[in-house]
Structure 1
Amino acid sequence: MAAEESVASVVTTQSHTSTEAGFDQGKESLMDSGSRSYPEESRDESYTNTTVRQSWQLRQTLEGVVKEINAKRERDGAILTDFKKELEVQAADTYNKVEKALYNVYEENSSTINEKLEELFATLDRIGKLEVELEGFMSNLKLLISDIQGDTLGSLKNTTV
């Protein structure tokens, strides 16, 4: 109960003055009625009323704080949703700009690349033809060498005989 009174007094500092004023007024009215001290029953009832009032005020204050927090969370959620939408729009816009720039680069360089590829394929075709000619030359050279060797061997045989 002491902890509850402590929390109630901290949370209800704004209404504390009015609570004390009401308590003091009740005290004065008892004193005015001719009684110089509180009867035991009145003191307990007054304490209970004050505790109930402070508890109710604490609840009201906490409910208000919770409502404020929830409202702020909703606002934050709305802000984040708007931020996300704006970010998505900007990201899509940036992507479209990059894509367009990339296609422009492709278009600018495609003719040069095509020319170079045509030159490369023409060179590869010439190399292929030269390889075929080289194979034919090598075959003819082998035949010539074997004919020369055959003639040289035959003339060597004829001279030795």
Structure 2
Amino acid sequence: MSHPGGIPASIDLLEPPTGDGATQFQQSAPTESAAAQSGLVKHSTKLGLAMQTTRESIQETAQQLIHDLNLKRKSDAALISDFKKDLEEKVTETCKAVDLHMFQCYERNGQIMQEKLQTLFATLERIHKIEQEMEQFKQALGIFYKDIHCQSNK
């Protein structure tokens, strides 16, 4: 598994190679003295053990660092997951609050608009009645004018 940035999610090292780790010298021809040969073998064995111990120590340290790194990555992933969950909850709560506020505004504005629309329709109805009265007055005035004009011509 790898991280979106291309970084591996975990690093797993293979088991350390097996072997005694000591450098072994093989002699193909006899040397000057057996004591010198014995001292050289003892020295190389000590050196080999020291190198093996150092190599194992470094390998164990590297393995521990990798283990710690993997634990921190898991912890970071859990932290991000918790953060996303908390953020989603907060966004959901905020959306609900905005929805509620919008609904309350719609209710309040709807009542105000209803009152204004009732006033408008009542005013339009009065205008219609006044227009009808004016039409009746105009017709009556026209009849009155004809009567006056007819009487003056006679």
Would you say 1:90 and 2:104 are equivalent positions? no
Which amino acid is 1:56 matched to? H
Question: Counterparts of 2:136 and 2:63 in 1: how far apart (Å)?
Answer: 102
Question: Counterparts of 1:41 and 1:122 in 2: how far apart (Å)?
Answer: 118
In the alignment, which of 44, 60, 77 is matched to residue 71 of structure 2? 60
In the alignment, which of 70, 94, 104 is matched to residue 115 of structure 2? 104
Task: Write the deviation string for residues 36-91 of structure 1: whole angstroms up to 9, x where unpaired.
Answer: 9x711111111110001000000001110110111011001000001101110110
Question: Counterparts of 1:125 and 1:48 in 2: how far apart (Å)?
Answer: 112
- Equivalent residue of 1:103, what SS? helix
Which residue does the alignment assign to 1:118?
129
Once the 2 structures are TM-superposed, how far is the Cα of residue 119 of structure 1 from its aligned partner? Answer: 1.9
Task: Write the deviation string for residues 89-108 of structure 1: whole angstroms up to 9, x where unpaired.
Answer: 11001001101111111223
Q: Alpha carbon RMSD of aligned pairs, Å?
A: 3.3
Structure 2 gaps of 5+ residues are 1-45, 144-154
Once the 2 structures are TM-superposed, how far is the Cα of residue 112 of structure 1 from its aligned partner? Answer: 2.4
Once the 2 structures are TM-superposed, how far is the Cα of residue 118 of structure 1 from its aligned partner? Answer: 1.9
In the alignment, which of 56, 72, 79 is matched to residue 90 of structure 2? 79
Q: Structure 1 vs Structure 2: percent identity of aligned residues?
A: 9
Q: Which has the higher helix share?
A: 1
Q: TM-score, normalised by structure 1?
A: 0.52
Question: Counterparts of 1:41 and 1:77 in 2: how far apart (Å)?
Answer: 53
Structure 1 gaps of 5+ residues are 1-34, 134-161
Question: Counterparts of 1:125 and 1:40 in 2: how far apart (Å)?
Answer: 123
Give the paired residue count.
Answer: 102
Question: Counterparts of 1:98 and 1:42 in 2: how far apart (Å)?
Answer: 82
